Amino acid sequence: MTEPKAITPKRVLKLRERVKKGKPKFARPESWRYVRLKENWRNPRGLDNKVRMYIKGWPPPVSSGYGGPRVSRGLHASGYEEILVYNVEQVSKVTPGTQALRIAHAVGKRKRTQILAEARKRKIVVLNLRQAREAAGEKSAEEKEEEGAKEAQEQPKEAEEALATEKAQPEKKANRHKEVANDQ
């Protein structure tokens, strides 16, 4: 017998995307007719509502048959299963291949840095890494590059400003001499 192929996050995401293409876009009935109605799906409740009665020519209503593949339900867009972590001990329970961790909002700065260090050591994906870095006071590589570029741009400006002030100072002195000579 052939072994079933291992289900990787990439394959699951591709499957979910392929299934989603076959589904209709569920818009609120008659939202295309009235500006005051948004497109967000609302279940039709009217007695004579055509969508509720499955009338031909009207869009289909949302039903359980349109659900996504069971394997991909509850997954993050990156393909990992999301695990909410409150402390360092919970990081050890996360499996790096299929799960990614999200640091809880209530976790403080010190514990957040400990969790980040442990996740790096175990090579676990952190979903809210930017917020975690901001709270921990760290800077990403992109931010460091941006700062370096800004500093490089500011240095020539500062040099130009210094030269301009040096040139301006002798002129001021010369003007003072002229004023003194004119007064006499």
Tell me the per-residue pLDDT of 74-129, one tens digit each, with 9 for 90 and over. 888 888 899 999 999 999 999 998 899 999 999 999 999 999 999 999 999 999 98
**Whole-number Å distance between alpha carbons of 133 and 86:** 16
**Phi first, then psi: what are they for 164, rounded to 5°?**
-65, -40
pLDDT at 74: 84
What is the pLDDT, as a whole number, of residue 116?
Answer: 93
Give the span between the Cα atoms of 142 and 53, in whole angstroms.
Answer: 54
Q: Are 43 and 10 in contact (CB under 8 A)?
A: no
> How much is the pLDDT for 13?
87
Q: What is the pTM assigned to this prediction?
A: 0.57
For residue range 38-73, list pLDDT tens digits in order: 999 999 999 999 999 999 999 999 999 898 888 888
Measure the CA–CA gap between 104 and 36, rounded to whole angstroms. Answer: 38
In the predicted model, what is the mean pLDDT of the chain?
A: 83
